[in-house]
Amino acid sequence: MGKVRVAIIGVGNCASSFVQGLQYYKNAKESERVPGIMHVNLGGYHIRDVEVVAAIDIDKNKVGKDLSEAIVTWPNNTFVFAKVPKTGVVVQRGMTHDGLGKYLSKIIQKAPGSTVDIVKLLKDTRADVVVNYLPVGSEEATKWYVEQVLEAGCAFVNCIPVFIARERYWQERFEKRGLPVIGDDIKSQVGATITHRVLSRLFVERGVRIDRMYQLNFGGNTDFLNMLERERLESKKISKTSAVTSIIPYPISEDDIHVGPSDYIPWLKDRKWCHIRMEGTTFGDVPLNLEMKLEVWDSPNSAGVVIDSVRCAKLGLDHGLKGALVGPSSYFKKSPPWQFPDEVAHAYTEEFIRDPKSDALLKERLRKAGVAPAKYVAGAGRNAAKGSKMVEAAKPAAKRAKPVARKAAAKPGARRARVALRAKKKKRA
């Protein structure tokens, strides 16, 4: 099916894990289960079909270097699990804008020279998909790069909490240009967000009232250093908080929930430690408390998800999909245009991989049902499902996504298999 030609903006730790992952799994067997990847062959694209064709940064230590060298250049400090041979891709000088905040500008020096013509770079390298890995708070820089991406005619995968895919304005810009976008803010394989969502879901499903909770994160990479500048964090806080509260079908006072990055501890390097505490009330108004600690390497934890995201974005391009991709955004991102419970988001994404056009129908259903995009919609949890416009609109696909039907639908003669299954069920009943 050809290649997925990727351009990377921001050659930091996440880019390092992404590029290493492509090398590490290039010979993976299609039957293999690769941790953190949905499928070795996703919609016809093997992991090795993902090729980085352009890389952009502004750090003088990285610009001008081969990508294989730049990904292991300080201040990058993530786990090195693959030796990447020379790629022939030289890191190009980007546009700084607000990319470097108060703390990063103390350790990163801007490369001399002017910004390359990004549109020309993307066109010359025939990039299909552009991945945004800029530091948190790069609001102006992200929007500037998005304009270049639109002009060059590429799909966009937004890994950071600057809202693009979830905003109506940007959705329409991508729609008008006939290009797909997946965003916003990557949800790691098993990170703080998904863990907190699962625990919240458990409390809700077992009827424990959540009274208050916190999620504290700290790490020793430049992402955490940058996030010491609290003014850059507004959208990160919204993104992380709403990713959790969307699971809970009742409001929790702002004073009773704290979700956020908390400190920078250099010796942790790219490791991140997450502490979650949840306080709840059970039967008889008796208290129940839960404490949890998660230790992860931050960047590899998201790289597989991004490898899947770029392949989905390319499938979107191949099938002429435009605007925000609903299923993949909801599964891969913390702040998608439409939030769903994780298993529903997963089912939509599997359905998208089998039949990318299903995503356009899903969007149409959501829009017809009046479920507004770009807004966090409360009560997308299963207990809140009845009567919720969002979940009602989502129903037909969610039904199709049941495991048995999914297995049948993946095979040729799927219709016949479904009919046979229905007949069997009837007989049993």
Ligand X SMILES: NC(=O)c1ccc[n+]([C@@H]2O[C@H](COP(=O)([O-])OP(=O)(O)OC[C@H]3O[C@@H](n4cnc5c(N)ncnc54)[C@H](O)[C@@H]3O)[C@@H](O)[C@H]2O)c1
262 part of the interface to ligand X, by CB under 6 A: no
Q: Tell the smallest beta-carbon distance from residue 281 to ligand X (Å).
A: 32
96 part of the interface to ligand X, by CB under 6 A: yes
Q: Tell the smallest beta-carbon distance from residue 268 to ligand X (Å).
A: 13
Task: Report whether 323 contacts 156 (CB < 8 A).
Answer: no
Nearer to ligand X, 97 or 177 (CB): 97
* Peptide bond preceding 285 in cis form (omega within 30 of 0): no
d(CA 155, CA 322): 9
d(CA 42, CA 428): 36
307 part of the interface to ligand X, by CB under 6 A: no
3-state helix, strand, coil in the chain (%, to 5): 45, 20, 40
- Point out the residue whose Cβ comes nearest to ligand X: 12
d(CA 180, CA 153): 10
Kindly determine how many residues on this chain lie close enough to bind ligand X according to the rule CB under 6 A: 38
Residue 44 phi/psi, 5-degree rounding, is: 100, -10
309 part of the interface to ligand X, by CB under 6 A: no
Nearer to ligand X, 128 or 298 (CB): 298
Residue 15 Cα distances to 71, 227, 392, angstroms = 7, 18, 38
Among 45-53, 90-98, 206-214, 377-385, which window interacts with ligand X (CB under 6 A)?
90-98
Q: Tell the smallest beta-carbon distance from residue 189 to ligand X (Å).
A: 9
Closest by CA position to 241, among listed 218, 279, 213: 213
Residue list 184-223, contact with ligand X (CB under 6 A): 185-186, 188, 191, 221-223
Q: Tell the smallest beta-carbon distance from residue 378 to ligand X (Å).
A: 23
363-366 CB contacts, 8 Å cutoff, 24+ apart: 363/323, 363/324, 363/326, 365/393, 365/394, 365/396, 366/326, 366/338, 366/390, 366/393, 366/394
142 part of the interface to ligand X, by CB under 6 A: no
134 part of the interface to ligand X, by CB under 6 A: yes
Q: Which of 160, 268, 362, 391 binds ligand X (CB under 6 A)?
A: 160
58 part of the interface to ligand X, by CB under 6 A: yes
Task: List residues binding ligand X (CB under 6 A).
Answer: 9-15, 56-59, 76, 94-97, 99-100, 108, 133-136, 138, 141, 159-160, 185-186, 188, 191, 221-223, 298-299, 301-302
